[in-house]
Structure 1
Amino acid sequence: MKSKYKISGPGVLIAAAFIGPGTVATCIDAGASFGFTLLWAMVLSIIATIVLQEMAARIGLVTNNGLAKVIRSQITNPLVRLLSILLILSAIVIGNAAYEAGNISGSVLGVEAIGIISTIDVGGLSLNIWSIGIGILAAIILYIGNYKMLERILVGLVLFMSVAFLITAIVTKPDIVAILKNSFTPSFPDESILTIVALIGTTVVPYNLFLHASLVTEKWGGPEDLSIARKDTIVAVILGGLVSMSIIICAAAIQGQEISNAADLAKSLEPLFGEYARYFIGVGLVAAGLTSAITAPLAAAYVVQGCLGWEKNIKSMRFRWVWVIILLLGIIFSSLGYRPGDVILFAQVANGVLLPIIAGYLIWIANKKQLLGAYTNKTWQNILSVAIWLIVFGVGLRLILKAFNVV
């Protein structure tokens, strides 16, 4: 990097991946339903994301392999290896297919929030042309398969999205003292546990751990670039977290009103800054949807490549077929008008429950001396990562117990 403050690299792609329409919807729900009281969950998520993504990037740089391939190589028992591969594949690939429909639909929602609606009737079905157009644009960017170009496009989109949401939050003139207090004071309002798990699940995304470990091998040469990779991760994740917090703050400004999607948020903010509300929200949502629509299929392809032991080549036909299938599923379900909101929320909550399992694998690998040598976790990193694991495990367990009316 020419400057230590330059925002560029895999970290930005990770931020682009976790700030999708699902994040927007979850943060809107958190702010509209609970005001600033759940900001602490987002701060916790940002810290957890930095710690876990740093470990994933370190493993990728030292081994020059993706996380899925490393896990596969380190499990010696055939049955455990098979079960682990099936768990990872089902969680990442199937989950990403569900996310993709929401990503494309979310981007379309942003276009429609601006006031551009375009549907056609084919055989009695109403197809949204924007879903197909956004899907084709994502496919073109992925097909080119040039990492540097992909990075530049997503850096631009993330910065654009960040400005849109940050300006929106500032215009609402929030109570700074209340924001700071709730950012560092945990609280559990009634009926908030599902939203807390969703906030964690939509920020500390399991598939991002696999994506990051693979992307650093495309960007840098080895462990000598670890300090740059760490700075890249910290800056990008904090920026992404601020965007998510901005959305919560925006929604808190109209707490108590009926908010079901970003378009409703734009309408509710019109008294604060007029007709321009829909443009800020619309542009931000388009960028959020498109960045995630690109990274979700890419992550799925990297995971399949590592789990099945394929050659490391993002231009290979097998690699491309994986992301094509994920992208096609997203286009189909989005263009047919299916409502992805419930599916996205389920996927986020499932991520929150699944995260302790994936994080457990990550911590185990990060402590293998024979694999990482001098780059294994330091004592303080283990203390912090285990503390994070216990927190996400506890929150996930509480959710499961609540589902069975135990708590």
Structure 2
Amino acid sequence: MLLNRIPSFLRHVGPGVVTGAADDDPSGIATYTQAGAQFGTGLLWTVFLSLPFMIAIQLVSARIGRVTGKGVAANLREHTPRAFLMAMVFLLVVANTINIAADIAAMGEALQLAVGGGDHFHAVAFGVITVLLQVFVPYRKLAPILKWLTLFLFAYVIAVFLVQVQWAQVLHDLVIPKLQWTSGYWMMIVALLGTTISPYLFFWQASQEVEELRLKGAGHGSEQEVRRDLRRVKRDTYIGMFFSNAIAFFIMVLGGAVLYTAGIHDVTSAAQAAQALRPLAGDFAFALFAGGIIATGLLAVPVLASSAAYAVAEAFGWPEGLERHWYEAKRFYAIIVIATVVGTGMDFTSIDPMKALYWSAVINGVVAVPIMAGLMMLAGRKSVMGKFTSGLKTTWFGWGGVVVMGFAVLMMFRDVVLQAL
């Protein structure tokens, strides 16, 4: 009965669920696992803290896309200084390319652990597959594929119940923070927040709302149609963000319960986490973890590459959209190909993918602050949103997210400066 309902459920969910699932990509899995391995369950409270802020900012992003019919970068281009927009887009593309490199590397390593062969060969294969999906599969057919891939994230829920977990300790650490005044602690918080509240997700969800409008083949619609769509956006975003943070919670619990307890405090990749789990949690838990890495990578890499392409194309006013044929938006698709090829190529260099990933998450955390502030200002302007400006609750939590992210970044820089002196 439940299985029969899944296809119906997938037809009714939209960009919010895919966005939430894409947040738990292989690089996110590595960051969450590292947090669990390094601090046990001591950072679980960040999942609880970030949820309302994540919901608010993704809701704002989606509303902007649906109401204006334009993506985040296109709106910022009209209402912010060009230098600000170009700086944000540049940093977004850099962070996304690093994320792509880490995700494809993790997918290749996970498949190598499962079936053997060369991890570089697998990485190239995954790079080619993700490029072909985006360039030759139109959005109306790509969206259902991405929705189906979200179901693989339940592997991490199942894996947690295959190991011994001190649930009383988990509940305690979820609601009572264990604060440490060290740079490593605050850098991990910024990395977690940068992984959870990632700028590429703002760009992606807004642009997918625009794609949904294009599929309808109509304009913005009547006021009644917009309100109906905004109710769907709200429901979709709530489901997607709850889902995303729930999966992050289970991954951190798994890292804390298995790796931290076993004295394994340094995880260099998601694939290494899967390998470390094998002797401690069993082959089935390993298979679930490794399979989840591959499936979520196939979901996340197109989101990362496409969000970079949307940002660049909108910033320069180029034709864009995954529903367009490649010859109708050559520069848009060129960004997708370049970001994926460069990301795949980074796996053949001496760059440490985990260190690059860590700094990518930190960059995301830093860049998110001004972009979130820009989005909140846009969402509150009647000249942009008309009758559909953000409500009071969304406004409070959206600006609260800006403050929380900004405070974490300041604390990180403070400790780095103090250590340097």
Q: Which amino acid is 2:129 matched to?
A: L
| Cα 1:3–1:181 shift into 2, 3 Å | farther
Q: What corresponds to 2:154 in structure 1?
A: 163
Q: What corresponds to 1:404 in structure 2?
A: 417
Can you list the C-alpha shifts for 1:169-224, whole angstroms capped at 9, x where unaligned? 12123223322222222332354111111110001001211111110111246423
Which piece of structure 1 moves more, 13-22 or 257-266?
A: 257-266
Q: What corresponds to 2:207 in structure 1?
A: 214
| Cα 1:64–1:37 shift into 2, 3 Å | same
Kept in 2, the 8 Å contact 1:7–1:236? The answer is: no
Q: CA deviation at 1:144?
A: 2.0
Kept in 2, the 8 Å contact 1:19–1:240? The answer is: yes
| CA distance, structure 2, for counterparts of residue 194 and residue 99 of structure 1 | 17
| CA distance, structure 1, for counterparts of residue 316 and residue 7 of structure 2 | 37
User: What pairs up with 1:244-263 in 2 under 5 angstroms?
Assistant: 244-254=248-258, 255=260, 256-260=263-267, 261-263=269-271
Residue 237 of structure 1 pairs with residue 241 of structure 2: yes
SS of the equivalent of 1:354 reads helix
Q: Which amino acid is 2:191 matched to?
A: A
Q: What corresponds to 1:44 in structure 2?
A: 49
Q: CA deviation at 1:72?
A: 1.0
Can you list the C-alpha shifts for 1:72-105, whole angstroms capped at 9, x where unaligned? 1123xxxxx2212221221111221121111111
Can you list the C-alpha shifts for 1:343-365, whole angstroms capped at 9, x where unaligned? 11001011112211111101110
| CA distance, structure 2, for counterparts of residue 166 and residue 270 of structure 1 | 16
Q: CA deviation at 1:2?
A: 10
Q: CA deviation at 1:313?
A: 3.8
Q: What corresponds to 1:379 in structure 2?
A: 392
| Cα 1:175–1:347 shift into 2, 3 Å | same
Q: What corresponds to 1:203 in structure 2?
A: 196
Residue 19 of structure 1 pairs with residue 27 of structure 2: no
Alignment counterpart, residue 134 of structure 1, candidates 114, 118, 126: 126
Q: CA deviation at 1:265?
A: 3.0
Q: What corresponds to 2:66 in structure 1?
A: 61
Q: What corresponds to 2:88 in structure 1?
A: 88
User: What pairs up with 1:271-286 in 2 under 5 angstroms?
Assistant: 271=279, 273-286=281-294
| CA distance, structure 2, for counterparts of residue 9 and residue 321 of structure 1 | 26
Q: CA deviation at 1:5?
A: 8.6
| Cα 1:262–1:67 shift into 2, 3 Å | closer
| CA distance, structure 2, for counterparts of residue 104 and residue 4 of structure 1 | 29
| Cα 1:65–1:145 shift into 2, 3 Å | farther
Q: Which amino acid is 1:154 matched to?
A: L
Unaligned runs of 5+ in 1: 76-80, 120-127
Residue 185 of structure 1 pairs with residue 179 of structure 2: no
Kept in 2, the 8 Å contact 1:12–1:232? The answer is: yes
Q: Which amino acid is 1:18 matched to?
A: D
| CA distance, structure 1, for counterparts of residue 384 and residue 272 of structure 2 | 51
TM-score, with length taken from structure 1: 0.90
Q: What corresponds to 1:370 in structure 2?
A: 383
SS of the equivalent of 1:192 reads helix
| Cα 1:54–1:198 shift into 2, 3 Å | same
TM-score, with length taken from structure 2: 0.88
Give the percent of matched residue pairs that are identical in Structure 1 and Structure 2. Answer: 26
SS of the equivalent of 2:319 reads coil
Q: CA deviation at 1:151?
A: 1.5
Kept in 1, the 8 Å contact 2:10–2:144? The answer is: no
Kept in 1, the 8 Å contact 2:32–2:251? The answer is: yes
User: What pairs up with 1:313-332 in 2 under 5 angstroms?
Assistant: 313-314=321-322, 315=324, 316-332=329-345
